[in-house]
Amino acid sequence: MSQESTLDIIGLLNRHAGRNYELQSEHVNPANVRALKTIGFDRCYVRAEGPYLWDIKGEKYLDLLSGYGVFGLGRNHPDVRRVLIDFLNADYPSLVKLEAPLLSGLLAAELKKRMPNQLDMVFFTNSGAEGIETALKYARCATGKPTVIHCEKSFHGLTYGALSINGDENFREGFEPFLPHCRIVPFSNLAALETQLQKGDVAAFVVEPVQGKGVNLAAPGYLLEAQRLCRKYGALFVADEVQSGMGRTGKFLAIEHDGPEMDPDIVVLAKTLSGGFVPVGAVLCKKWIHEKVFSSMQRSVVHSSTFSQGSFAMAAGLAALDVLDRHQLIANAARMGDFIGNGLRDLQSRFELLKDVRWRGLMIGIELGSPKSLGLKMAWTMCHTMDKSLFPQAAIIPLLDKHHIITQVAGHGVDVIKLLPPLVITEADAQWFLTAFEDVLTQMHKFPGPAWDVLTNIGKMAVTQRAR
């Protein structure tokens, strides 16, 4: 093929620059385009480096969402990119299938070294949701039991098995019926968990050490005691570390904060595992579980995936782990998380809307709460009457619009702003956010004021949309 006939991807990007929302609306997801335009998030980003994005106008942004945690190493990390360029230039084979791939064995060995306990076997997936599907199949096969327990407000993905153990009805509505034998318990409630485990039919308890929706931290000792109860009643303890793993919380796995006695049967990883360059996830389990699933040569591929163990993904995973180690990013996550968290707590005494700050490393939840002063309380009530998810927009919209910082609301019907900064952020980045957030809170405490005008307009549009 001649050089002239190959795709000029840079030329294509340049020719269509700025058409993002037109093309998305026409071909992909018009509802999402309307939502983004309503809250003023319809930017067109054209460049990315580390924790920063630049839009088509040349404006620089601090990305504290990091692709829902995918870009834990920041965007376009040069070390990972160099490894992937070298790998592509090697013309190395991938997905031969009737072989034993080298790179997946090397990546599996590196992941096992980083576990807090002995997890013997690794299955590679394309996403966190696929990892949860794998864990569900493994648990039922290994135990011979049908039931899976999950927590209220849990989020484990949106494929059918994962959705069946999703604790948010907003994601589940319209997709029934779900997998049978899935039961829900309150998060951090050991009595409720034991009541379900006592029934004797539970294959697994699947839990996020830090819940992504709401950034809810497990109560001290909860995970360790939940693990003990699972052992007592013959259920597997499955740690969903898709968002909280890979160093985000200041340890490689978030369960490690509960002490060296943590001994999960299955751990699910994804997100940062490839540095954001290619979809990849991993499921680590104990050997006896693996042997129950892959119990004979005839069953050696009883659970599989076409793109599992793809060489490009495995190379990215090895490079990501190397960057985490050499640049000491896990320690930086702990340090920067405390810097931001303590900085936010220092603001609490000055701002009545700031109810709580929760964090574990760089997984941070900022909870807003009902104010005491009459004018603000009236405005708060009005906003929540229009839409229970509306109020945090008074913070995230000016954070983006005025201060060029990207954040998100931490779920449906919660007054929580969520931060998932890249692990590469500096103290200057953290101070950029703290200064901006203090300014935003100052404006939110002025009623009437521009923040409340924005909320009123968005609320009216939301009510109009629901009425159609």
Identify the pLDDT of residue 327: 98
- Residue 414 near residue 354 (C-beta atoms within 8 A): no
Contacts of 135 (CB under 8 A, 6+ apart): 204, 206, 238, 240, 266, 268, 283, 285
Identify the pLDDT of residue 4: 65
Cα 4 versus chain centre, distance: 41
Identify the pLDDT of residue 280: 98
Q: Order across the sheet with 266-269: list the strands.
A: 121-125, 281-285, 266-269, 236-240, 202-207, 147-151, 182-185
Compute the distance between CA of residue 253 and CA of residue 44 in angstroms, rounded to an integer. 34
How crowded is the C-beta side of 279, counted as CA atoms within 13 Å?
A: 9
- Residue 121 near residue 290 (C-beta atoms within 8 A): yes
First to last CA, the chain: 53
- Residue 461 near residue 455 (C-beta atoms within 8 A): no
Give the helix ranges, DSSP H, for 42-77: 66-69
Instruction: Name beta bridge partners: 439.
Output: none
Identify the pLDDT of residue 375: 83
Compute the distance between CA of residue 161 and CA of residue 204 in angstroms, rounded to an integer. 13
Contacts from 286-291 at CB under 8 Å and sequence distance 24+?
Answer: 286/118, 286/119, 286/120, 286/121, 287/120, 287/121, 288/142, 289/121, 289/138, 289/139, 289/142, 289/236, 289/265, 290/120, 290/121, 290/138
Please, what are the domains in the chain? 39-69+329-467 (3.90.1150.10), 78-326 (3.40.640.10)
Identify the pLDDT of residue 3: 56
Identify the pLDDT of residue 350: 95
Identify the pLDDT of residue 378: 85
β pairing state of 60-63 and 216-217: unpaired
Two tokens at 414?
Answer: 């919660």
Cα angle at 332 between 220 and 187, to 5 degrees?
Answer: 25
Q: What would the DSSP string read from start to end of 344-379?
A: HHTTTTT-TTEEEEEEETTEEEEEE---SSHHHHHH
Q: What would the DSSP string read from start to end of 277-343?
A: SS--EEEEE-HHHHHHHS-SGGGTTSS--TTTT-HHHHHHHHHHHHHHHHTTHHHHHHHHHHHHHHH
Identify the pLDDT of residue 413: 84
What is the reported pTM? 0.95
Classified as helix, coil or strand, 417 is: strand
Compute the distance between CA of residue 363 and CA of residue 236 in angstroms, rounded to an integer. 26
- Residue 145 near residue 130 (C-beta atoms within 8 A): no
Amino acid (1-letter code) at residue 456: T
Identify the pLDDT of residue 129: 98
pLDDT (tens digit, 9 = 90+) per residue, 342-355? 999 999 999 999 99
Q: Taking Cα atoms as reference points, which of 97, 93, 94 lies closest to residue 301?
A: 97
Identify the pLDDT of residue 1: 45
Compute the distance between CA of residue 79 and CA of residue 324 in angstroms, rounded to an integer. 11
| DSSP tag of 253 | S
Amino acid (1-letter code) at residue 261: E
Which helix or strand (DSSP H or E) is residue 143 part of?
Answer: helix 128-143
Q: Taking Cα atoms as reference points, which of 56, 404, 415 lies closest to residue 214?
A: 415
CA dihedral over 448, 454, 455, 460, signed as positive or negative: positive
Classified as helix, coil or strand, 200 is: coil
Identify the pLDDT of residue 467: 45
Dmax over CA atoms of the chain, in Å, equals: 72
β pairing state of 408-409 and 60-63: unpaired
Ranges of the chain with pLDDT below 70: 1-4, 459-468
Q: Please state, in angstroms and as integers, the Cα–Cα distance from residue 293 to each residue in 136, 138, 254, 309, following that order.
A: 12, 6, 27, 18
Q: Please state, in angstroms and as integers, the Cα–Cα distance from residue 392 to each residue in 69, 354, 412, 454, 455, following that order.
A: 20, 11, 11, 11, 9
